[in-house]
Chain A
Amino acid sequence: MRYLVAFQTLVTKEFLRFIRIWVQTVLPPGITTALYFVIFGTLIGDRIGDMDGYRYIDFIVPGLILMAVITNSYANVVSSFYQAKYQRNVEEMLIAPIPPWVILAGYVAGGVARGVVVGILVTLVSLAFSDLVIHSYAITLAVFILTSVLFALAGFINAVFANSFDDISIIPTFVLTPLTYLGGVFYSIKLLPPLWQDISLANPVLYMINAFRYGLLGVSDIPLATAFYIILGFIVVLFLFALQLLRRGVGIKT
């Protein structure tokens, strides 16, 4: 019961934190996605034609939604936990009788909450441009939540090692964005030469975007089961790593 109260407190605090600054946190992904739809969907998309049997604008919807979820789940946790370190209010939790896994779960849930809010907003925006029909609600929701959890964990680890505000933007800029753009948001990897198709398979984001695309459209470049194994595998590894960092007090205790 005590842990549940602590967890609820952390999640509420995290939720209020990003809602309080919604103009910086929730609104921009909506605007960015609308621009993607206008430029890549409407203006360029008509010249590209169909992809995997779908209009190009419909084909990019899953990738754009998941890209917003990935970016925001990550950004929420990395910025919130780094700020807590920087302002030293992380000590509020360290002195309290909360086990490390509850702290981690609270931050991850906060990241998922922002991912969900932004994901819903982006989905609403996409409805204005495409005729979205969900192929499988269960798969869509599962991939949506699991991807959000995975990147919230990654954001937490980034924040643990970050020593400056620059450090929390390096990974999103130089790792996350390239992986997402090259993960099949805007194209099917079947369009790539065989060598690049093989290289693309080493990109974990490809599996998430394709699994999500399967949930929404019913098409995917890779087997669904493989995608779930990879997502769950990454979650387990990142969770255990983040928990170990928190237990040892890396970056937060001397």
Chain B
Amino acid sequence: MNALQIHNLEKTYAKGPHALRGIDLEVEEGDFFALLGPNGAGKSTTIGIICSLVNKSGGTVQVFGHDLDRSPEAVKSCIGYVPQEFNFNPFEPVGEIVINQGGYYGIPRAEARRRAEQCLRRLELWDKREQMARSLSGGMKRRLMIARALVHRPRLLILDEPTAGVDIEIRLSMWEFLRGINADGTTIILTTHYLEEAENLCRNIAIINEGLIAERAAMHELLRRLHRQDVILDLAAPLPAPPEVPGYVIRQLGPTRLEAEVGSGQPLNRLFIGLQQAGVEVLSMRNRQNRLEQLFLDMVNNHREREA
């Protein structure tokens, strides 16, 4: 069974253009799915419709077989939602926020209290349960929204930019946490601007652009399509001109910095052997940009050209 099935989804805002122009999308049960796209592409509108926060203009949405129009409450019961912006009452205690959310899903208070404790402990917020939410740090607020989204044990968790603005340590711990709940069987849909996040976490991906799905594929399949990567090399000594290594395009970015294009299937060893033969000593190496980021930009640009 598909966790999510969207057919011909459309949204036209009252005073705006078509935000969604007929989206078709399927997400399998148990998947860790990335929904990517540039700002204004329609990601948040799509998620808003699935979560009943935005009224759709046309099309159908089914969550675990429940139709959003015919059985909205069944759909809502399956979904946990972590929005991009903080949307809790900052003047409420942390524990109350999670317990109340359980109550809204019909979980009796004693049970909601027990589940809130579990969620807050898992997200390392139990010690903060009496504190007003406004006193939490940015990372804690993000974790609070995840705890709140999990209190009713949803089968589908939707996260809209869940790690925006949190430091790298917290981001990595959140990745581990999300991997864990996905391994436990929760289907996850993620939108993010950190493309390495999608590359690290997600098995399948859809790219949305200008209200249409530009691409839908398995992550490994997409990455395989990337024909080259650019690497930055920091050198021990300055060079007057870029060295020539047969089979590789090398550009000089500064006196002690080179950029080399490495095609898919081209061994890096050969590049280094060539550099060594040219008397170039390399101190460090890194990718010029995230691989998925490069692919994403290519796809969005290609889609724009096709649409034009």
Contacts and interface: CB of A to CB of B under 8 A. Distances in A.
A92 B101 contact: yes
Interface string B53-97: 111000000000000000011101101010101111111100010
Interface in A132-154: none
A253 B89 contact: no
Given A95-B53, A95-B81, A3 B87 contact: no
A249 B56 CA distance: 12
A84 B106 contact: no
Interface in A33-87: 83-84, 87
Contacts of B55: 249, 253-254
B48 interface: yes
Given A95-B79, A254-B13, A9 B109 contact: yes
Contacts of B108: 5
B109 A95 contact: no
Contact of B77 (A9, A84, A94, A97): A97
Indicate the size class of the contact surface on chain A. 20 to 34
A24 to B, nearest CB: 12
B54 A253 contact: yes
B105 interface: yes
Contacts of A9: 100, 103-104, 109
Interface in B91-128: 91-92, 96, 100-101, 103-109
Nearest to A7: B103
A91 B104 contact: no
A175 interface: no
A244 to B, nearest CB: 14
Indicate the size class of the contact surface on chain B. 20 to 34
B149 to A, nearest CB: 9
B52 interface: yes
B51 interface: yes
Contact of B101 (A1, A12, A96): A96
A8 B107 CA distance: 11
A216 to B, nearest CB: 37
A92 B106 contact: no
A95 B75 CA distance: 10
Contacts of B89: 83-84, 87, 89
Contact of A8 (B85, B96, B103): B103
Interface in A198-254: 249, 253-254
B64 to A, nearest CB: 14
A6 interface: yes
A94 B91 CA distance: 20
Nearest to B85: A88
Interface string A8-32: 1110110010001000000000000
A170 interface: no
A232 B85 CA distance: 41
B73 A99 contact: yes
Contacts of A2: 105-106
A91 B85 CA distance: 11
A6 B87 contact: no
Contacts of B54: 253-254
Contacts of A253: 53-55
B88 A98 contact: no
B85 to A, nearest CB: 7
Contacts of A20: 91
B100 A95 contact: no
A9 B74 CA distance: 20
A10 B96 CA distance: 12
A96 B104 contact: yes
Most buried by A among B53, B76, B77: B53
Contacts of B92: 13
A253 B52 CA distance: 8
A130 B300 CA distance: 77
Contact of B105 (A8, A16, A96, A249): A96
Given A253-B55, A254-B48, A254-B54, A6 B104 contact: yes
Given A9-B100, A83-B89, A89-B89, A94 B53 contact: yes
A13 B100 contact: yes
B106 A1 contact: yes
A77 to B, nearest CB: 15
A162 to B, nearest CB: 17
A93 interface: yes
B124 to A, nearest CB: 22
A95 B151 CA distance: 13
Given A87-B87, A95-B51, A253-B53, 14 more contacts: A1-B106, A2-B106, A5-B109, A9-B109, A12-B100, A83-B89, A88-B83, A89-B88, A95-B52, A95-B76, A96-B105, A97-B76, A97-B77, A254-B55
17 contacts: A5-B107, A8-B109, A9-B100, A12-B100, A88-B86, A91-B81, A92-B87, A94-B53, A95-B52, A97-B74, A97-B104, A97-B105, A97-B106, A99-B73, A254-B13, A254-B53, A254-B54
